[in-house]
Amino acid sequence: MHKLITSIVFLLLSITCITARADVLVLVHGYLASADSWEISGINSMLEANGWKRGGLITSAPATISPVYVGPGQDADNKVYTVDLPAEAPIAVQTDQFLGMLATIQAMHPGESLVIVGHSAGGVVARTALVTGNVQNVRALITIASPHVGTTLANRAIDATDESGFFGGLKSFFGGSGYDTLRRSRGLLFDLAHPYPGSLLYWLNAQKHPDIKYVSVIRLNPVGFVGDELVPGYSQDMNNVPSLHGSSSIVLTPAGHTLVAEDGATLLQILNELYAVPEQAEQEDLVT
């Protein structure tokens, strides 16, 4: 198993740079995170060093404040935008704001295709947007450690924050800030629980998805367990979504649930493959 992990790390770090066509990469953060997650982890720096320039930040700021912070790479051939979503809000609320952000990005870069990357709950937000928003010019959806078929921890958090019954009020009194966060996030937790009739994931996973490229980045625990401390491996695999069965490529990465710098190498590897395939096809057409 150690040799397998070593081989995977070597593969991710041994990246051959391929000049990509004009495209926009959109990074969507997860639960209890923000757009800064991509910066703090070192992912943006690695992308920047390999041709994907910082295009800017799109926020859910009030109407009195500009929601667009333009970066130095806005006019680059390949640029990266991060979005700042209300991370504790239900998926529907985040999706509605995300669709508006995508419209802003596409208005700034008409005709250019999108590659969307979602970490954790951000992957579910991105997938919901693609199903409900009729977003055009999307080349691929890449998700990292996303709970596509739910996570038991969400179910447990829902039970832990249930304040019904005789002792329910005591939970709020003694719970503390962590408990308050879970209470504020309860709508989102229901969305990320294992699918059941009437739940968001139950509905979403039965819907027709756009005909684009799907890539599931699945965490590989250092001891060989597929998955991480928050989301089991089978849930991170979009092939286990009934309407996407057999449609997603899989990349295993040895890490926990949190974003790490090596995820930048993983994204570059995936992006290189996304662009290498059509270029190879064009060359074959010229030969024939």
Structure tokens at 214: 């799907």
User: Is residue 79 predicted with pLDDT exceeding 60?
Assistant: yes
pLDDT tens digits along 14-73: 444 444 456 999 999 999 999 999 999 999 999 999 999 999 999 977 766 778 888 999
Tell me the one-letter amino acid at 171: K
Which phi and psi angles does 42 have, rounded to 5°? Answer: 95, 0
DSSP 238: G
- Does residue 214 surpass a pLDDT of 70? yes
Q: 268: exposed, middle or buried (C-beta count within 10 Å: 0-12, 13-18, 19+)?
A: buried
DSSP per-residue codes, 77-93: SEEEEEEE--TTS-HHH
What mean pLDDT value characterizes the chain? 86
User: Distance between CA 118 and CA 100 in Å, rounded?
Assistant: 16
Mean pLDDT, range 92-101, rounded to an integer:
97
In angstroms, how far is the first alpha carbon of the chain from the final one? 43
Residue pLDDT, tens place only, 216-233? 999 998 766 799 999 999
Q: Residue 165 above 60 pLDDT?
A: no
Is 87 part of a structural domain of the chain?
yes
In a domain, 155, yes or no: no
- Residue 43 has phi, psi (to 5 degrees) of -65, -45
In a domain, residue 157? The reply is no
**In which domain, by residue range, is 102 found?**
2-150+214-277
Q: Tell me the C-alpha distance between 178 and 146, whole Å.
A: 22
Instruction: Determine, yes or no, domain membership for 198.
Output: no
Q: How many domains does the chain have?
A: 1
pLDDT at 264 over 80: yes
The two structure tokens encoding residue 151: 């996570």
pLDDT digits (tens, 9 = 90+) for 183-192: 899 999 999 9
CATH of the domain at 138: 3.40.50.1820
Q: What is the pTM of this model?
A: 0.86
- Asked if residue 203 is part of any domain, the answer here is no
Chain length of the chain: 288
In a domain, 218, yes or no: yes
User: For residue 250, is it within any domain?
Assistant: yes
CB-side exposure of 279: number of CA atoms within 13 Å? 10
Asked whether residue 186 is domain-assigned, the answer is no
Tokens 């965490």 -> residue: 219
